[in-house]
Amino acid sequence: MRAVALRRSAVTGGLLARRVSARRRIVDAVARLGMFLAVLVALVPLVAVLGYTVSRGARALSVQFLTHSMRGVGPLDRTGGAYHAILGTLEQVIIAGILAVPLGLLVAVYIVEYGRGPLRTAVRFLVDVMTGIPSIVAGLFIFAFWVLALHQGFSGLAAGLALAVLMLPVVVRSAEEMLKLVPDSLREASYALGVPRWRTVVSVVLPTASAGITTGVMLAVARVTGETAPLLLTAFGFDSIRTSPFRGPQSGLPLFVFSQASSAFDVAVRRAWAGALTLIVVVLVLTTVARLVTSRSRMEVG
């Protein structure tokens, strides 16, 4: 009888055996309530940020905003938009991806397939440490290295380099996780067919993990798309459309939002909200699609 009651309490987690004293039951209920409230408190800012951004941004967003730059727009003009910034962000993120994704994959392959001993441990540890480098420090690094030491000047490319520094550890970590999930039996089957190790990695291991790796890359892209601080020090900002990322300062969407938000004029703040909404939509769509890709692939495997 008691065993049954105990098992029931273990299973449902809610119904406690009769013997539990009132005080313990109350403490348990209070603790559960506290934990539940913590979840609510954690979700309040999410709702508030998204809701407020959507309501302010939707009023300010327009086709004109998405198709015009800030060239020749006076401080009190209601015109002007973020076209130049969207273009800049697109180029900068693509540059960052081109640099960080292959490199990140190689590092992950090294860690999972080849690495051993202290070097592997050191690389893994430093990748983890790298995820904690503040984005402004990555910007300062590229500024000191690319802009000052190599005299390359501010450009979209410099911004891409800084974003790549931030993207690299994220790509490595997620790719590492995914490569580890590939069952060893697949590798062994490939070796048994006489396929060399590197071919096994390229044509068996990586394709098997591709869905998960895609998710990781998308999350990394989403993360760097919203980065403002490094752009300040590398792309610097520019009011007109600059198609080439290789020469001269460029704008970026987060940077555009920051500079408009720092302004005292209402029209600029309106533009900041429109930019913030655009940014948040891009980032959340990337994040959500990335999650759906994983959950679907997981379902197929399971």
Partner 1 sequence: MTATDSTGLRPRLARKRAGRRGDLVFRWVAQLSGILILVLIVAIAAFLLDRAVPAFRHAGLRFFTERGWSPDADHPRFGIEALAFGTVVSSICALVLAVPVALGSALFLTEVAPPRIGRWTGYLVDLLAAVPSVVYGLWGIYYLVPRLNPVERWLDQRIGFVALFHSRSATYGRSLFAASVVLAIMILPIIAAIAREVFRQVPSEAREAALALGATRWETIRISVLPYSRGGIVGAMMLGLGRALGETIAVALVLASVFKVDLHIFEPGGNTIAANIATKFGEAGASGREALIASGLVLFAITLVVNVVARGVVYRTGLAAEGRP
Of residues 99-128, those binding partner 1 (CB under 8 A): 103, 106-107, 109-111, 113-115, 119-120, 122-128
Q: Least separation, in Å, of the C-beta of 271 and partner 1?
A: 11
CA 268 to CA 239: how far, in whole Å? 13
Give the separation between CA 115 and CA 109, rounded to whole angstroms: 8
Backbone angles phi, psi at 250, to 5 degrees: -140, 160
Residue 159 as a binder of partner 1 (CB under 8 A): the answer is: no
292 binds partner 1 (CB under 8 A): no
Kindly tell me which residue out of 68, 94, 226, 297 binds partner 1, with binding defined by CB under 8 A: 226
For partner 1, which residue of 1, 22, 41, 301 counts as binding (CB under 8 A)?
A: 41
Q: How far is the CB of 208 from partner 1 (least distance, A)?
A: 17
- Give, as ranges, the residues between 192 and 221 that touch partner 1 (CB under 8 A): 193-199, 201-202
Residues 6+ apart with CB under 8 A from 44: none
Among 10, 76, 264, 299, binds partner 1 (CB under 8 A): 10
60, 165, 220, 267: residue in contact with partner 1 (rule CB under 8 A): 165
Choice from 48, 66, 189, 289 touching partner 1 (CB under 8 A): 48
Contacts of 255 (CB under 8 A, 6+ apart): 85, 88, 228, 231, 232, 235, 237
157 interacts with partner 1 by CB under 8 A: no
Q: What angle do CA 40, 43, 45 make, to 5 degrees?
A: 120
| Cβ 176 vs Cβ 123: under 8 Å | no
